Structure 1
Amino acid sequence: MSQQESAPVPPTGLYVNPVGQRRADFQHACAALFDGLRVADGAEQAAAMLAQGPSAVLVLDLERFELGIDLPALGELVASRNGAPVLVLCPFTNARWLPALMQHGPLDYVIGPLPADETRRQVEARLQAGFEAPLEPTAAEAELAALLAVRTEAQAALQEADDGIRFAERLCAALLRWPGLVHAAVFGLHEGGDLRLDAQHGKPGLDLAAVLQRRERLLQSPLRHAFPGLLAASSGEAALLDALDKAGEPALAAVLREQGVQMVLGLPIPAPGPGAPRGALCLLFDHARPFSRAQLTACDDLAQLAAFGLRMADLMRESEELLGRVTHLATTDALTNVANRRHGEYLMEQEIKRARRYRLPLALIAFDIDRFRAINDSFGHPVGDMALRVVADTARSLLRSSDVLVRSGGEEFQVIAPHTSAIDGLKMAEKLRAAIEAAEIPGCDHVTVSLGVAQLGETESGDSLAVRVNAALARAKRAGRNCVELAMQ
């Protein structure tokens, strides 16, 4: 057999892209590789051309196609090939096309943008290789097994989902089980609508905050259009940079190469509802590699798992905040913002137990506003409410951090004073009386209070202590008000 007879016969080809100039550029660069090259502006025209005569190789250039609009037609075109060679030219800014098209049939892909000579070289290499699978079956199985191990570790990270940052850090550490992955990071969208580097883990010395020249407000970074992690978080589309120079940022490419990075994958972390994603996973590899459909699906699963973990962290935080608000409403008087009667009774029992255990003195001060009904009758309830708030604020400003002010009734208050004897309680009560008398109250000038003081007895209950201090308060009222009385044992 002669050398001419053994030379491979160039196949026929069909190139599909909606932009006329791109079709002309591809024809100029690659027409000589085919025994007849046809071009089509979309899936409908391509299907019509294939119906007139088959093409051995289909080249889909996804630049300017819209995933949400064109996927069904292009997917049907891939499915109609029945396993015949399909080469996809995919822009690095929208790698989500790849798993979507792979659901319709086998294909090979090249990440763009590429200059004309590189496009020719990539197409020629695949024509000569006969469009072999990107990975041998055994290698693909091993790679997928590694990804499954990564997913298992990532699922274990959900144990830290009570805290978003801690979960993100553990997730990054889990992702590094993927062979070839040298660095993983989580970018999160926060209040104010901007992006922040929440966590990163990987190669020592590789700090994405230094690479991107900032840790916060990353959507304002000049590299937001080039770095896949930022692209995925801002656009909601996966971004795959399999050759660093394709991003058009030589300085960025040089910095990453210095750290041993050759490929970057950005995966958007979906939000629970419509709208912008809540962040992105950013994976940095030490070499470029093709991805199979199963691997890209596993990557999407990891992004979904990250979204689930971060949402769990949000729910835990929201639950804690809600519990705090409910607890505040259940234990705090709405008008004066001091402890309410029920919570005051609970705190009193706790302080009694502590005083008994450590043999410490405990005092209780009870006071109420003199002639408070007259204030409401003369000046109205809004002025009465203002008087209650001023009295509470004045008393609270004089108390120690260990003391507790309680609104025990309408115009009645109590002060639980740990580590306080009867004598010290009298001094505290006199300070309260003088300060409240001097306080100015809008609408009614001044008010006075009458006070009773009691010290907890050795075997006394909280109810008994309350009875004694209220009796002392009643004596203060009978003595002419605006005075302090000490409870009898």
Structure 2
Amino acid sequence: MPQQAEPQGQRTGLFVNPAAARRAQFQAESGSQFASLALADGVDAALEVLGREPVDLLVIDLDRFDPELDLAGLGQLVAGRAGAPVFVLCPFSNARWLPALMARGPIDYAIAPLAPDAQNAALAAQLAAGPVRQPAPTPREAELQELALLRARVQAALGEGGDLAALSERICEALCTWPGVVHAALFYLQPGGDLQLQAQHGVHRQPNRELNLARVLGRGERLLQSPLRHAFPGLLAAAANTIALLDAPEKSGEPELTETLRAHGVEMVLGLPIPAGGPGGARGSLCLLFDGSRRFSHDALAALEGLAELVAVGLRLADMGRENEELLARLTHLSTTDALTGVANRRHGEALLEGEIKRARRYRLPLALIAFDIDRFKEVNDRYGHPVGDIALRTVAEAAQKLVRASDIVVRSGGEDFQVIAPHTSAIDGLKMAEKLRVAIASTLIPGCDQVTVSLGVAQLGDQESADSLTVRVNAALARAKRAGRNCVELAMQ
């Protein structure tokens, strides 16, 4: 219900806030600015006052109002003033109110919290100014032209493509071209993770005083757990999905943060949420640090929101590119790797062998091929079961992988059959490698069946030999090793 304060000043006012304690505080601190001050707890009570008597200044304190529930009603109050002064006290943590209210009519605003003296000075200026007038066309047009240029620079940065890190760095560099911006940062929510400082860029005006937000915030990752997430606009915008405007560092309520920002010449900080591609919270935020305080028009705030949306599209495209690369890598892995043992599968092994043969011919280097299989593997499956047989295959493949060189390639060519493609290897060296494989595998314990042995064949690539011919010769050597009693090595004949 509306309440009436004692007449003390020269003009009439109406203060609107849903909290009784806040209305009483405003009356005590600023009632002397008005000849008559009405207090209202909501839109209906304010409309009642406005319908009953003229009000020189409407003061709306947005603290405790809900943007989702109260915006329409408060917008109605602004629209009904028809140019009469409206002064809005806006919490720095919820500056998204401002463009929405500016769309309904001319308003002036101050970012809360305000000290009583500053609040009274702002009220006196509003009362002295009379009806609110739109900003002069020329400065406004200049502001919008600057923002149009800024958007073009950001769009050009996005157009260069690249990975997320490079793209984010270019965005921050572009943002720093806006007059007054001394530092820009991009905070980004990592997939399945937390908010991190993705990139930052500054205009360094004093040597050895470079601003690093990771040091200011005490960390560069897991920023949603930062103790400053409620006070620093860049974090607040990402965490709460709202524009956050800190027009004086001390309003953050964090003395150490205030001191650090002022030491680097920062007088105002703006956080713009980067919208997500679907429902839910923000995907991150853009954070602009200014060397002086400034006031934004409705069009400027709308342009800044549009800029954040443009960045969101560019970053989503970068994310999609990264996801496509990861998917391609995953598909490549699935198509070239044996699912059971993790070594190259037969088809990929054949392609790799062809490639190594071409390389060996080009540089006139030796190339050896080793073929081996597990002795009496069918008995392992029949006696211990196929799960133990699978364990045996994996264990043999792992033992071979540990023994071969980095340049060698282990291939599962089928069933219990394996190959090792050994570049820069002669027949003699191939025999030595095969013997090491035989000994290593024979001494490896297999869970469920103790041990297995392998028989091996070795062949060196001939001068004009094809991959098929080399494979036939090495498999023939392997067959001789089987006939010789297994668990041995045979060299292929030319």
In which range does the TM-score fall when normalised by the shorter chain? over 0.9
Q: Distance in 2 between matches of 1:251 and 1:442?
A: 61
Contact 1:25-1:116 within 8 A present in 2 as well: no
Q: CA deviation at 1:237?
A: 2.1
Contact 1:108-1:131 within 8 A present in 2 as well: no
The residue identity in structure 2 corresponding to 1:15 is F
Secondary structure (helix, strand or coil) at the match of 2:173 reads helix
Q: CA deviation at 1:192?
A: 7.5
Secondary structure (helix, strand or coil) at the match of 1:280 reads strand
1:436-455 to 2 correspondences below 5 Å:
436-455=441-460
Q: CA deviation at 1:470?
A: 1.4
Matched residue, 1:167: 167
Structure 1 residues 411 and 279: CA distance shift in structure 2, 3 A: same
Matched residue, 2:65: 65
Residue from 300, 308, 315 that aligns with 1:303: 308
Q: Distance in 2 between matches of 1:251 and 1:392?
A: 59
Residue from 351, 356, 371 that aligns with 1:351: 356
Structure 1 residues 269 and 477: CA distance shift in structure 2, 3 A: same
Task: Name whichever of 350-359 and 474-483 sits farther off.
Answer: 474-483
Matched residue, 1:456: 461
Structure 1 residues 378 and 246: CA distance shift in structure 2, 3 A: closer
Q: Distance in 2 between matches of 1:251 and 1:187?
A: 21
- Residue 49 of structure 1 pairs with residue 49 of structure 2: yes
Q: Distance in 2 between matches of 1:218 and 1:391?
A: 46
Q: Distance in 2 between matches of 1:331 and 1:473?
A: 25
Matched residue, 2:196: 196
- Residue 369 of structure 1 pairs with residue 369 of structure 2: no
Secondary structure (helix, strand or coil) at the match of 1:291 reads coil
The residue identity in structure 1 corresponding to 2:448 is G
Q: Distance in 2 between matches of 1:214 and 1:481?
A: 62
Task: Name whichever of 39-48 and 255-264 sits farther off.
Answer: 255-264
Secondary structure (helix, strand or coil) at the match of 1:319 reads helix
Task: Name whichever of 93-102 and 210-219 sits farther off.
Answer: 210-219
Q: Distance in 1 between matches of 2:387 and 2:185?
A: 56
The residue identity in structure 2 corresponding to 1:271 is A
Residue from 288, 296, 301 that aligns with 2:293: 288
Q: Distance in 1 between matches of 2:126 and 2:55?
A: 15
Q: CA deviation at 1:99?
A: 0.7
Secondary structure (helix, strand or coil) at the match of 2:293 reads coil
Task: Name whichever of 451-460 and 335-344 sits farther off.
Answer: 451-460
Q: CA deviation at 1:203?
A: 2.8
The residue identity in structure 2 corresponding to 1:110 is A
Contact 1:452-1:487 within 8 A present in 2 as well: yes
The residue identity in structure 1 corresponding to 2:430 is G
Residue from 205, 213, 227 that aligns with 1:208: 213
1:103-142 to 2 correspondences below 5 Å:
103-133=103-133, 135-142=135-142
Matched residue, 2:25: 25
1:82-481 to 2 correspondences below 5 Å:
82-133=82-133, 135-159=135-159, 161-190=161-190, 194-204=194-204, 205-481=210-486
Q: Distance in 1 between matches of 2:295 and 2:170?
A: 27
Structure 1 residues 195 and 409: CA distance shift in structure 2, 3 A: closer
Contact 1:165-1:198 within 8 A present in 2 as well: yes
Q: Distance in 1 between matches of 2:299 and 2:477?
A: 81
Contact 1:108-1:133 within 8 A present in 2 as well: no
Q: CA deviation at 1:220?
A: 4.2
Structure 1 residues 201 and 52: CA distance shift in structure 2, 3 A: same
Q: Distance in 1 between matches of 2:223 and 2:450?
A: 56
Task: Give the TM-score, by structure 2 length.
Answer: 0.91
Matched residue, 2:4: none
The residue identity in structure 2 corresponding to 1:111 is I
Q: CA deviation at 1:423?
A: 1.5
* 4+ residue segments displaced more than 6 Å: none
The residue identity in structure 2 corresponding to 1:152 is A
The residue identity in structure 2 corresponding to 1:433 is R
Contact 1:108-1:134 within 8 A present in 2 as well: no
Structure 1 residues 368 and 232: CA distance shift in structure 2, 3 A: same
Structure 1 residues 216 and 131: CA distance shift in structure 2, 3 A: farther
In percent, how many aligned pairs have the same letter? 65
- Aligned residue pairs total 481
Task: Name whichever of 199-208 and 127-136 sits farther off.
Answer: 127-136
Matched residue, 2:488: 483
Task: Give the TM-score, by structure 1 length.
Answer: 0.92
Structure 1 residues 382 and 251: CA distance shift in structure 2, 3 A: closer
Task: Name whichever of 83-92 and 24-33 sits farther off.
Answer: 24-33
Matched residue, 2:6: none
RMSD: 2.2
Gaps of 5+ in 1: 1-8
Contact 2:84-2:132 within 8 A present in 1 as well: no
Q: Distance in 2 between matches of 1:197 and 1:325?
A: 28
Contact 2:106-2:134 within 8 A present in 1 as well: no
Secondary structure (helix, strand or coil) at the match of 1:271 reads coil
Contact 1:162-1:312 within 8 A present in 2 as well: no
Task: Name whichever of 141-150 and 239-248 sits farther off.
Answer: 239-248
Secondary structure (helix, strand or coil) at the match of 2:245 reads strand
Contact 1:134-1:291 within 8 A present in 2 as well: no
Q: CA deviation at 1:329?
A: 1.1
Contact 1:95-1:239 within 8 A present in 2 as well: yes
Task: Name whichever of 392-401 and 309-318 sits farther off.
Answer: 309-318
Contact 2:242-2:272 within 8 A present in 1 as well: yes
Contact 1:146-1:177 within 8 A present in 2 as well: no
Gaps of 5+ in 2: 1-8, 205-209
Contact 2:181-2:288 within 8 A present in 1 as well: yes
The residue identity in structure 2 corresponding to 1:210 is R
Matched residue, 2:5: none
Structure 1 residues 389 and 78: CA distance shift in structure 2, 3 A: same
Matched residue, 1:4: none
Q: CA deviation at 1:441?
A: 2.0
Q: Distance in 2 between matches of 1:440 and 1:221?
A: 50
Q: CA deviation at 1:324?
A: 1.8
Q: CA deviation at 1:191?
A: 6.5
Secondary structure (helix, strand or coil) at the match of 1:488 reads coil
Task: Name whichever of 53-62 and 465-474 sits farther off.
Answer: 53-62
Q: CA deviation at 1:15?
A: 1.9
The residue identity in structure 2 corresponding to 1:82 is A
Matched residue, 1:15: 15
Q: Distance in 2 between matches of 1:19 and 1:139?
A: 38
Q: Distance in 2 between matches of 1:309 and 1:164?
A: 9
Task: Name whichever of 387-396 and 94-103 sits farther off.
Answer: 387-396
Q: Distance in 2 between matches of 1:181 and 1:440?
A: 66
The residue identity in structure 1 corresponding to 2:16 is V
Contact 2:17-2:63 within 8 A present in 1 as well: yes
Structure 1 residues 413 and 149: CA distance shift in structure 2, 3 A: same
